[in-house]
């Protein structure tokens, strides 16, 4: 079951509809409800390899539905520590639980100062309103 629309308060957002949950020098990344809903039920996640370096504002993976494919944009730079195997096996987990079990990767931040450039909830909701 696809989740109902929601955007948690505790996340930081990227205008390309990605989120980051920061914990010390690590962060968990994913895509927002809006992105998951726009794509439709996901059928494939092409993840980066563990150990790869990803760069803020650059694609680090791909998500696919039946009729669409989209790059996943990194909200922050860092090294990939873990890929969510649940999503690789069952990509629809992203639709069901975009901010919980549907996270995509965990990274070690290479430049925590990048956080300042991300959007808070209010700013991201403004991005959505402008769509």
Partner 1 sequence: MTHPYLALTDSDREEMLTAVGVGSVEELFRDIPAGVRLGRELDLEPALSEHELSAHLGALAARNADTTRELSFLGAGIYDHYVPAVVDAVLQRGEFLTAYTPYQPEMSQGVLQAIFEYQTAICELTGMDVSNASGYDGTTVTADACYIAKHATGRTKVVVTAATNPQVRQVVKTYAPGFGLEVVEVAHRGGVTDVDELRAAADGAAAVILQQPNVFGCLEPAPELVAAANDAEALPIVHCDPLSLGVLEAPGRYGAAIALGEGQAAGNFPSYGGPHYGFLAARQDFIRRMPGRIVGEMVDAAGERGYVLTLQTREQHIRREKATSNITTNQTLLALGGLVYLTWLGPQGIRELGETCLSLAAYAKQQLRARAGLELVFPEQATFKEFAVRVGRNAREVVAAARERGVHPGYALGRDYEGMDDVLLVAVTEKRTPQEIDRLAEVLAEVTA
Partner 2 sequence: MKLIYEKSRPGRRASAIPRPEGLPEPEIPESLRRAEPPRLPEVPEFELIRHFTELSTRNFGVDTGFYPLGSCTMKYNPRINERLVTLPGFASLHPLQEEDGAQGALELMWRLQEILAEVTGLDAVSLQPAAGSQGELTGLMLVRAYFDDRGEGAQRRKVVIPDTAHGTNPASVTMAGYELTPVKTDPRGNIDVEDLRGKVDEHTAALMLTNPSTLGLFDENIEEIERIFHGAGALMYYDGANLNAVCGISRPGDMGFDIVHINLHKTFSQPHGGGGPGGGPIAVRKMLEPFLPVPAVVRRGEDEFGLDYDRPQTIGKVRGFTGPFGVFVRSYAYMRMYGPRLREMSETAVLNANYLRARLQDAYELPYDRLCMHEFVLSARGLKREHGVTALDVAKRLMDFGYHPPTIYFPLVVPEALMIEPTETETKETLDAFCEAMLAIAREAAGSPETLKEAPHHRPVKRLDEVRAAKTPVVKYEFERHPEAGGEPSAVAAEAPKGV
Binding site for partner 1 (CB under 8 A): 44, 46, 64-69
**Interface segment toward partner 2; rule CB under 8 A; list 27-35, 58-66, 80-88, 116-124:** 58-66
Q: Is 44 in the site for partner 2 (CB under 8 A)?
A: yes
Tell me which of partner 1, partner 2, none is bound by residue 108, counting a contact when its beta carbon lies within the kind-specific cut-off of 5 to 8 angstroms: none
98 contributes a contact to partner 2 by CB under 8 A: no
Q: Pick from partner 2, partner 1, none: which does 41 bind, CB < 5 to 8 A by kind?
A: partner 2
Give the closest residue to 42 by CA, choosing from 107, 98, 120: 98
Instruction: Give the interface segment with partner 2, choosing from 13-21, 37-45, 47-55, 76-84 (CB under 8 A).
Output: 37-45
First-to-last alpha carbon distance for the chain, in angstroms, is: 25
Residues 56, 73, 99: CA angle, nearest 5 degrees: 110
Burial class of residue 1, CB neighbours in 10 A (0-12, 13-18, 19+): exposed
CA distances to 37, 42, 86, 110 from 66, rounded to whole Å, are 13, 7, 19, 35
* Residue 79 binding: pick among partner 1, partner 2, none (C-beta 5-8 Å cut-off by kind): none
């Amino acid at each position: 079951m696809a989740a109902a629309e929601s955007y948690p308060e505790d996340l930081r957002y990227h205008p390309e509809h990605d989120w980051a949950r920061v914990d010390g020098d690590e962060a968990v990344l994913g895509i927002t409800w809006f992105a998951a809903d726009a794509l439709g039920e996901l059928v494939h996640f092409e993840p980066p390899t563990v150990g790869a370096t990803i760069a803020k504002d650059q694609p680090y993976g791909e998500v696919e539905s039946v009729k669409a494919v989209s790059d996943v944009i990194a909200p922050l730079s860092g090294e990939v520590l873990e890929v969510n195997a649940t999503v690789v096996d069952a990509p629809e987990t992203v639709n069901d639980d975009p901010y919980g079990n549907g996270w995509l990767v965990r990274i070690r931040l290479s430049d925590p100062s990048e956080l300042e450039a991300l959007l808070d909830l209010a700013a991201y909701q403004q991005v959505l309103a402008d769509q």
